[in-house]
Amino acid sequence: MNTVQSIQVLQTVEEFGSLLEQCASENSLLLLDFYADWCGPCRAVAPQFYKLAEEFHPRRVVCAKVNADHARELCMREFVSALPTFKLYRNRECVNTVVGARMEQLRTVLNRQAMDPSVVQIIQTDQPENGRNAAKILLRIFRDVTQNRLGSTNRCLKLSDPDLQTGLLNVPGAMECLFAAGYQEAEDELVLPENEDIDRIRIMMEYLSGFCEKQSHKDIPAATAAPSQTAQIDGNDGGDGAQPDNALSSLDITQTISWIQLLNRVVEPVRTISTYLDPQARARARSIIPTQDLIDAAALKSGCTVDAVSPRAFLRELVRWYKEDFFRWADSFECSRCKTKMQFSGTANPTAEEIIGRPGSVETYRCPADSSHPIYRFPRYNNVNTLLCTRLGRCGEWANCLTFLLSVCARPVKECTSNASVLPWFPACRYISDWTDHVWCEVWLEDEHNPGHFRWVHCDPGGETDQPLLYEDGWGKKLTYVFAYTVPPFTACDGRNADEISRLVDIQDVTWRYTRKFQEVIGRRHRALEAPLAAHLAMRHLAVCAAWNNALSSSFISSCGSQHPFSLAQIARETTSFLNPPAAPSERLPGRQTGSLEWRRARGELGSEEPTWRGSNVVLRPTPNELKQGSFLLRYNAALDIYQRPRSADNSPSAELTSRRLSGPVDCTALVNEAKRTGLKGWHTLTTRWRNISRKVEPDWHMVYLAREEGTAAEYDGRIEWVLDLNGTGYAVGKVSLFACMVCHSADSRAQFVLCSSATEKGAASTDKANRGVTNKTGDIDSASVVAVSGESDTVPGVACVRLTPGSNTLFQSTDFVGAKSLRLDVRLWTETQGSNPSDMAWQQAQLFRQKDTDYVLWPLEWNVELVREETRTARE
């Protein structure tokens, strides 16, 4: 699906330099998100980053991402050691760094540094000379204020001043710019308080200066147009596209810009729908669909004659053919020379040849084995005529092409009039756009449970039909906006141009058909914009229905039956049906089936098919003796399947604490009995939660380890979590050491430990520390040592995180968690299944704590945490 801007992924210093130079020349800010795929906080805040990118795009903020594992040289150059890190650049210089997933802090920085909406209005005015003159007046005022401060004669501006009367009042945004700088109204003048924000004024001056220095005016993207300029949508002359000014009158400037962005996004798919009426594309589609074969298959499965096949039965066969035989999923791409799996490297401008297919973006992929190998271009086409040829794409292309085929497929009839030789299988269909990044279809069908009554039936390109709660209950999506675009009847569109056809496309907010969680969804929507949105859609309904009534023939209406979908009455009935939540599904709905496992997992759309979490939410808390000794030590032996907390009691054998290996003879029976007595027997006894993990004993090899449960499919991972909580003890975390044994026996098996802190009093690692970088002995950024920092939220459990993988250095005396009040240790075992055919033994190939079954003296897990009294730590600082 398309967004306001494509997010480029930078991999080299050269790409960064080029983008930095481009932004400087365009007077834009550049925001970089340094992330890693393994970093939980990075994944958790990724959707918020995309929302910020969309929100601040009109204010000339260009956003890009940098994968720290793939762009180590760039990370070193920009002194990035903590993830996620957000860096903001203006005029080729870094002006701000936000370390961690502190999205509200990042929003505050962007609001301060990005172009103020008032400046946006000045720059995009339809009278450039007046705008440039207003900018010069504002610059003169601001320069005097910043240079002379309290002695400035421009701290008090008379409203009768000719500059204000003729130079500012007639330019949209100019007076608002003064208010944004801090000026306040006082009777007949504007006064700047003594506590003015000089830095903010200087930032506004930079943007105004850049505007004045331009030799030729360059418009800001259409999404930032003022309300009066967007009264016509898609070529409309008022009617269906006019904005409800009365509903917008209560919105401030920022909300108005948000409204423009929302409305432009709402109407964006209309142009795509209008391409469905291309006669050549319709003829080609009908020639491609194996209609008779599908009818025969539907008749066989339904046990009826071909003449008695129902539209619903035909729909099932059409979707099956489309998924299995016609369209291909664009999962991954191979290098044309060496067949290596290619990596996404960003987006590019379309070529002249690609433009014909109306691509929303053009993705580019590079060969990781050899950068000289050809780059692969993947245009995300929107033109259905082009998609009929390529037959390749992801959910956007899949739903677009399927909706088109549904709209054109027709069934020959024996008794036909001279004006019509075919009847449509489906009187109407819709293209559905979900703003959490998915698209599907709806088809007008007779209700199976209420014969004689028709309704809109959900149809996903992946094969699921009439399961509207699939995305929320099955995939686990958190919906916001879901809009339906009704394909107008062909008989109403003949002889019309694209603009005229676009006026016949109705738009309906169908979010409420696809959710039972009304309050949660409302909380995720722009509440201030609900009224203008409802008013806009109501006006469009009226205009579209009027156009339908004028264009539809009586024969077409009669062919649709007693309930035809192209009527205002039907729209009203549908809207009324949304007042009550849909019933819960009678059976468990599946997670997403299309796309690679890692892609689906990254999107959080696997649903409830993954192994469920188990455990009793055990939280480890230090004993009085551990607090007294200032140390918490937890270790585990897989051979005996026991934990030990050697410092938890007064009689702790201190001699045994200096090494992971016990010295002298060991009475294993005594150790096991003691563990049973103290509740330390069994690997799961001290875990907060776990899933898909079991202890494996190999009698023939005399080895013991933890792995995923036997026979588990490769796509399901195994997880264990331990939590140490110091809240209420008067102590905080000091230095932390962690030793953990991990073994991977295949190229596609993976294991990792991630240790995260939370509630650090000083917050995340300081910017100064982050700028110093974390390097290994060779001086390169060590991806296994890079710290991930997040904000405190329900969705992001940690503040700082560090990762250990097989072969990485042991975490020793780390100070990254100093001041934390709790620690969470998370282990994950999984298989990289993308582009490979994993072994049936994949569940066994990633292992934890592997050791001989007679090795009672070695502890393959050892977690040591220094406990520092809080007043002592404060005194040190």
The number of beta carbons lying within 10 Å of the beta carbon of residue 7 is: 18
- Run of H or E residues at 767: helix 767-772
Distance separating alpha carbons of residues 784 and 317, to the nearest angstrom? 50
Contact 526, 258 (CB under 8 A): yes
Q: Where are the alpha helices (DSSP H) in 617-687?
A: 624-629, 668-677
* Residue 249, φ and ψ in degrees, nearest 5: -60, -25
The alpha carbons of the chain give a radius of gyration, in whole angstroms, of: 32
Q: Which of 345, 327, 251 is nearest to 289 (CA)?
A: 327
Distance separating alpha carbons of residues 282 and 275, to the nearest angstrom? 10
Distance separating alpha carbons of residues 567 and 557, to the nearest angstrom? 10
Could you confirm whether 63 is annotated as catalytic?
A: no
Q: Which residues pair with 344 in a beta bridge?
A: 365
Cis previous bond, 84, omega within 30:
yes
Distance separating alpha carbons of residues 142 and 61, to the nearest angstrom? 23
Distance separating alpha carbons of residues 706 and 861, to the nearest angstrom? 12
DSSP 334: B
- Amino acid identity of 620? L
Contact 254, 117 (CB under 8 A): yes
For residues 704-734, one letter each, b for 16 or more C-beta atoms within 10 angstroms of the residue's C-beta and e for the rest, the string is bbbbbeeebbbbbbbbbbbbbbbeebebbbb
Distance separating alpha carbons of residues 501 and 281, to the nearest angstrom? 16
Could you confirm whether 39 is annotated as catalytic?
A: yes
Distance separating alpha carbons of residues 383 and 380, to the nearest angstrom? 9
DSSP 690: E
Sign of CA dihedral 557, 560, 563, 568: negative
Q: Which residues pair with 444 in a beta bridge?
A: 456
854 token code pair: 């007679």
Task: Tell me the three state secondary structure of residue 853.
Answer: coil
Distance separating alpha carbons of residues 413 and 441, to the nearest angstrom? 26
DSSP 609: G
Residue in 23, 39, 395, 409 annotated catalytic: 39
Residue in 42, 177, 560, 801 annotated catalytic: 42
Annotated catalytic sites, by residue? Answer: 39, 42
